[in-house]
Amino acid sequence: MNTVIKKTKVDPNGWLKVQAPPELENQEVDVIIVPQRPPAVEGLAKWRSLADEIQSLASSKEITDEDIQTEIDDYRAGR
């Protein structure tokens, strides 16, 4: 049997309304609810905002690229 995908919105009371195709009339079906993921653009904007916030902290200005590279090297060397 083929899967039928329908998009709908959940109403404020938590109810869904979906009209099934006529060939499914009087048949028992399984319903799976899969929330839509927000567009990647929204997530990217949040990451950029977080990065900007972290970089604006006073303690971030004290860290140099050399400090970061030393920490990476130490980690890779198991120190």
24-45 pLDDT per residue, tens: 999 999 999 998 887 788 788 8
Q: In one letter, which amino acid is 7?
A: K
Name the band, by pLDDT with cuts 50, 70 and 90, for residue 73: very high
- The rounded distance, in Å, linking the Cα atoms of 74 and 32 is 48
Q: Residue 73 CB: number of other CB atoms within 10 A?
A: 10
What is the band of 61 on the pLDDT scale with cuts at 50, 70, 90?
confident
| Mean pLDDT, residues 11-26 | 92
What integer is the mean pLDDT of 44-67? Answer: 88
Average pLDDT rounded to a whole number, residues 39-62: 86
What pLDDT is recorded for position 2? 82
